[in-house]
Structure 1
Amino acid sequence: MSENLNQDNITPTGGDDSGKEVKRDFQGLLESTKKFLSELLDIRNNTDQEATKESIIADIPFKGHTSWILICSIFIASVGLNANSTAVVIGAMLISPLMGPILGMGLSLAINDIDTLRRSLKNFGVMVVLSVITAFLFFYFFPLKDQSSELLARTEPDIRDVLIAFFGGLALVIARAKKGTIASVIFGVAIATALMPPLCTVGFGLAIGNFSYAYGAMYLFTINTIFIGLATFLVIRLLRFPMVRYVNSQRRRLIARIASVVAILVMIPASFTFYNALQKSLFRKDAGQFIAEKIAPYKFQGEGRFLDNLTTMEYDKGQDPKIELVFMGNETVPDNVIATWAAQMKDYPKLKNTELKVVQGNNEVQDQMKYISELYESKKNELLNKDEQIKVLEGELMKVSKLASQQIPFQEISAEAKTNYENLSSMGFSYTISTDFNKVDTIPIFEVKWKEGTKSSQVASDTKKLNDWLKLRLKNAKIQVKEASN
């Protein structure tokens, strides 16, 4: 009996013990994860504060060797931008000493070193002025002033440039603070933040008188400068570099606030630029889809064709966007088809207010040659060698020659016809496309109107003579002469 009572009074404890073990294991996992992340991301333990400060301050002065290195890097960058050579531009970035004063400004703001800040600003200003003047002189006197894609890429900064400058500056300062500087990181940041090319583009814009280029490039350089400096400021503060003693805490807070306000002021217009770039990208995406789905599948019956390479898409802030389609050949696109295309544009969200302009072949050899020249220019970078270039040119010139042989010098023909046929009252000309369902043919038609009172026999005789004369004069047996209906 007592044994049963003892057994009934026993309380199971296995569940509580297992719960405590799970809790201890979970806490141990959290501690291990925290320790791992701390060791992975902590940069304070491996930072040499004194060496970092000395190396940044040592790169601030601008004289002697540094000035000549800067001048050489400017010339190299200017030549690379002019020749549209990315490799040459990268080489100029690697040797440019512009990064020194910028890091000096960020460091001096973080540790409240007014003397270092003053030296950094002075050397930075001299570097910028010298860079712009050197680039201006190069582009002003150099005979080739092509607006390459490398140059144009530095004239429209947006929010992405802010991100590149900020995170590039973070990487640079963290690398400089590490014991045993990571040189490859510094070189990589020099390429990514690209301080030298924008200054060269400023000189280019001033040399050709295009101040919008100069403004856009200087704005990009300002973005890079401020956000590299801001990143330096934040990292130095995070690493708790010792403050300069003679500066009080109130001034330190004031400087930090000024840096934050300047960064926000730079980001606001850059955000608007980013929004405009996003809208332009969405417009070009819808425009490309519209052309691929609606324009490209259109089939001509004769020799007409759509020149996709000459299509232009214009999207300017404050103006209605425009799409210009180019067609070449004697056959034209009917007005009802163009109206259908314009109506279908409303199915694409970014094309609702877009103007559709259609440029068609108008039987003028000069215009055809212009289009062929533009087509070649747009395609020449895709050609593999000179033989292929010649082959493409020969093919396009043969088409132009064929079109030229079919041209009707209407003004000369009408003047000669009026002289030879005194009863001729008016004369018109047009092409008519006809088919017997086996082939399509383009026939030149002259419509003539004879003076009132002319005998029918005389009209028939003169019409036949005029028809024979036109065939002989224009060397085209397909020409037909018809009497215009009243």
Structure 2
Amino acid sequence: METNHPNSPLKSIWQNFKLLLKSTLDIREDTNHDATIEEVKAGISIKGQGAWVLIFSILIASAGLNTSSTAVVIGAMLISPLMGPIVGIGLSLGVNDVDLMRKAINNFGIMVVLAIFTSFLFFSIPIFQKETPELIARTYPDVRDVIIAFAGGFALIVALSRRNKQFNTIAGVAIATALMPPLCTAGYGLATRKWDFFGGAMFLFTINTIFIALATFIIVKSLKFPMQEYLNSSKSKRISRLLYLVAFLILTPSIYMFYGLYKKTDFEQKVNTIITNFNLDKDVVVLNQKVNFQNKTVSFATVGKSVTNEDVKEWSDKLEKQGYSGVKFEITQSVENLETQNMLEKLESTYFTTQQILNKKEEIIVKQEKELLVLQKQLYLSEKSKIPFDQIANEIKINYKNVDEIAFSRLIKTNFNTIDTIPIFYLKWNNTISNNRIVSDEEKIEKWLRLKLHNDKLVVRKLN
């Protein structure tokens, strides 16, 4: 008799899920140990081509930082050979190769000095010493830079260790980890004697270097790369101890850096949240805000309502509850802040009043312009319809000698829908001419006048 186990479907689902997870995330089967080691060794050297490529990439990156051109900086990072020695250091630690580590460290040092010296020469030119946002962005590392460097290092060594290389991943890591811009910024700091730029940039570069090498070391160990063998067993042990000591010395400051940057970022975020909420609640404008995590100080200036001691105490209490005690607030504010705010409100009111007046005047001007157009049109029509009475009278007298008098008037009529104006010429004939002749001559004169004056409505009538 078959026994049903209620948990068997769940176990089956769990087993299938584990198999799917393993097949998706397992990278051991496609690892090419020997080819990866040879490729990393080949990328360590700085001689000849590598040195010139580094110099040119540093010049490109420096120009990109000087013009705040992200595209140019990205291009420089793609052609930079700096990643090779860093990966070499991580690999040498993972496979216990002291010669490889010595070579990687030597070439890494040469590359760093050459890069800083090249950027120093570039930024020593006065026209290239402008402080740009791209340069400033490389002087204040935070915890996100650690995460980027660590994840980038993992992605790079995984891509390099495949039998089928994923070059788009390698290029992406070169862009994301951004080793070139900090070195260029360090050269800028030396050239302009801005030591905060130099210190911040070198700190960011150190973070990237350590965590890329550490990620490489971890992956090399997890993929079980073959260890370097030495004929002398005691020498092998000494080398192993030495390399593990180096790995420990790298790991310890890495953890300390990560924790310090995490606390710095967290502190700045909490302070910004408090100040932002204060802005919204009290309608205060905060200017020139600076947060110093090392000294636990927050400084800013205010415009509007004054910041009270109760406000400062409330902020300090909130930060203390969140693990940051002894924070000092340095606030620059005038005792006349309220008067300043009132003055600003008056200026704002005056501005809106002036705008309303200007808008009203503009409406009046537009209306007057329309009226002027109407008058101009009427004047044009009036000029066009003006009758040269003297000239016409003389011409009629010359051509029709039986006309004794001529009169002219305008008849205005309407059908209650439109109004029309009709010009009328009145002619008085002498008694020697017959009525038939008068009718015939009036028809001729009317046609002639209509043609001459371009008015089909013109009428000629007999003057009694």
Please give the alpha-carbon distance, in whole angstroms, between the structure 1 residues aligned to 2:173 and 2:42: 19
Q: Which amino acid aligns with 2:198?
A: A
Please give the alpha-carbon distance, in whole angstroms, between the structure 2 residues aligned to 1:146 and 1:99: 28
Partner residue in 2 for 1:312? 288
Once the two structures are TM-superposed, the CA of residue 248 in structure 1 deviates from its matched residue by 2.3
Task: Kindly report the root-mean-square deviation, in angstroms, between the aligned alpha carbons of the 2 structures.
Answer: 2.7
TM-score by length of 2: 0.65
Q: Which moved more, 1:37-46 or 1:343-352?
A: 343-352
The alpha-carbon distance between structure 1 residues 51 and 269, as it changes in their structure 2 partners (threshold 3 A), is closer
Q: Which moved more, 1:313-322 or 1:171-180?
A: 313-322
Once the two structures are TM-superposed, the CA of residue 169 in structure 1 deviates from its matched residue by 0.3
**Deviations 1:68-103 (CA, angstroms, capped at 9, x unpaired):** 111111111111112222222111111111001111
**Deviations 1:452-476 (CA, angstroms, capped at 9, x unpaired):** xxxxxxxxxxxxxxxxxxxxxxxxx
Q: Please, which of 153, 157, 160 is the counterpart of residue 144 of structure 2? A: 160
Partner residue in 1 for 2:59? 75
Partner residue in 2 for 1:176? 160
Q: Does 1:261 align with 2:269?
A: no
SS in 2 for 1:18: coil
Partner residue in 1 for 2:103? 119
Q: Which amino acid aligns with 1:162?
A: V
Please give the alpha-carbon distance, in whole angstroms, between the structure 1 residues aligned to 2:289 and 2:281: 16
Please give the alpha-carbon distance, in whole angstroms, between the structure 2 residues aligned to 1:249 and 1:201: 41
SS in 2 for 1:321: strand
Q: Say whether the 8 Å CA contact 2:122–2:128 is kept in structure 1.
A: no
**Deviations 1:126-153 (CA, angstroms, capped at 9, x unpaired):** 1100000011111112424222222122
Q: Say whether the 8 Å CA contact 1:158–1:271 is kept in structure 2.
A: no
Q: Please, which of 265, 271, 279 is the counterpart of residue 259 of structure 2? A: 271
Once the two structures are TM-superposed, the CA of residue 361 in structure 1 deviates from its matched residue by 9.4
Partner residue in 1 for 2:332? 357
The alpha-carbon distance between structure 1 residues 268 and 126, as it changes in their structure 2 partners (threshold 3 A), is same
SS in 2 for 1:338: coil
Partner residue in 2 for 1:218? 202
Q: Please, which of 334, 338, 341 is the counterpart of residue 306 of structure 2? A: 338
Q: Which amino acid aligns with 2:329?
A: T
Q: Say whether the 8 Å CA contact 1:103–1:228 is kept in structure 2.
A: yes
Please give the alpha-carbon distance, in whole angstroms, between the structure 2 residues aligned to 1:282 and 1:193: 27
The alpha-carbon distance between structure 1 residues 359 and 148, as it changes in their structure 2 partners (threshold 3 A), is farther
Please give the alpha-carbon distance, in whole angstroms, between the structure 1 residues aligned to 2:59 and 2:334: 43
Q: Say whether the 8 Å CA contact 2:306–2:335 is kept in structure 1.
A: no
Once the two structures are TM-superposed, the CA of residue 194 in structure 1 deviates from its matched residue by 0.8
Query: Larger Rg: 1 or 2?
Result: 2
**Deviations 1:391-428 (CA, angstroms, capped at 9, x unpaired):** xxxx9xx99xxxxxxxxxxxxxxxxxxxxxxxxxxxxx
Q: Say whether the 8 Å CA contact 2:59–2:122 is kept in structure 1.
A: yes
Identical columns (%): 40
Please give the alpha-carbon distance, in whole angstroms, between the structure 1 residues aligned to 2:52 and 2:96: 31
Query: What does 1:184-199 correspond to in 2, within 5 Å?
Result: 184-199=168-183
Partner residue in 1 for 2:302? 325
Task: Say how many residue pairs are matched.
Answer: 327
SS in 1 for 2:300: strand
Q: Please, which of 273, 288, 293 is the counterpart of residue 276 of structure 2? A: 288
Please give the alpha-carbon distance, in whole angstroms, between the structure 1 residues aligned to 2:80 and 2:336: 52
Partner residue in 1 for 2:68? 84
Partner residue in 1 for 2:4? 18
Q: Which amino acid aligns with 1:72?
A: F
Once the two structures are TM-superposed, the CA of residue 49 in structure 1 deviates from its matched residue by 1.4
SS in 1 for 2:127: coil
Partner residue in 2 for 1:41? 25
Q: Say whether the 8 Å CA contact 1:326–1:360 is kept in structure 2.
A: no
Once the two structures are TM-superposed, the CA of residue 270 in structure 1 deviates from its matched residue by 4.4
Query: What does 1:418-457 correspond to in 2, within 5 Å?
Result: none
Please give the alpha-carbon distance, in whole angstroms, between the structure 1 residues aligned to 2:36 and 2:97: 15
Q: Say whether the 8 Å CA contact 1:290–1:345 is kept in structure 2.
A: no
Please give the alpha-carbon distance, in whole angstroms, between the structure 1 residues aligned to 2:149 and 2:275: 32
Q: Which moved more, 1:246-255 or 1:283-292?
A: 246-255
Once the two structures are TM-superposed, the CA of residue 250 in structure 1 deviates from its matched residue by 5.4
SS in 2 for 1:97: coil
Q: Say whether the 8 Å CA contact 1:156–1:216 is kept in structure 2.
A: yes
Q: Say whether the 8 Å CA contact 1:322–1:354 is kept in structure 2.
A: yes
Q: Which amino acid aligns with 1:311?
A: L
Please give the alpha-carbon distance, in whole angstroms, between the structure 2 residues aligned to 1:144 and 1:163: 32
SS in 2 for 1:28: helix
SS in 1 for 2:259: helix
Please give the alpha-carbon distance, in whole angstroms, between the structure 2 residues aligned to 1:240 and 1:28: 31
TM-score by length of 1: 0.62
**Deviations 1:356-400 (CA, angstroms, capped at 9, x unpaired):** 3235999xxxxxxxxxxxxxxxxxxxxxxxxxxxxxxxx9xx99x
Q: Say whether the 8 Å CA contact 2:90–2:214 is kept in structure 1.
A: yes
The alpha-carbon distance between structure 1 residues 79 and 59, as it changes in their structure 2 partners (threshold 3 A), is same
Q: Say whether the 8 Å CA contact 2:61–2:73 is kept in structure 1.
A: yes
After TM superposition, the runs of 4+ consecutive aligned structure 1 residues lying more than 6 A away are none
Please give the alpha-carbon distance, in whole angstroms, between the structure 1 residues aligned to 2:296 and 2:226: 54
Q: Which structure 1 segments of 5+ residues have no match?
A: 1-12, 297-307, 328-336, 363-394, 400-486
Q: Say whether the 8 Å CA contact 2:149–2:211 is kept in structure 1.
A: yes
The alpha-carbon distance between structure 1 residues 97 and 279, as it changes in their structure 2 partners (threshold 3 A), is same
Q: Please, which of 141, 145, 148 is the counterpart of residue 129 of structure 2? A: 145
The alpha-carbon distance between structure 1 residues 320 and 230, as it changes in their structure 2 partners (threshold 3 A), is closer
**Deviations 1:285-333 (CA, angstroms, capped at 9, x unpaired):** 211221222134xxxxxxxxxxx4x722122232642221247xxxxxx
Please give the alpha-carbon distance, in whole angstroms, between the structure 1 residues aligned to 2:11 and 2:331: 66
Partner residue in 1 for 2:223? 239
Q: Which structure 2 segments of 5+ residues have no match?
A: 321-326, 338-350, 356-464
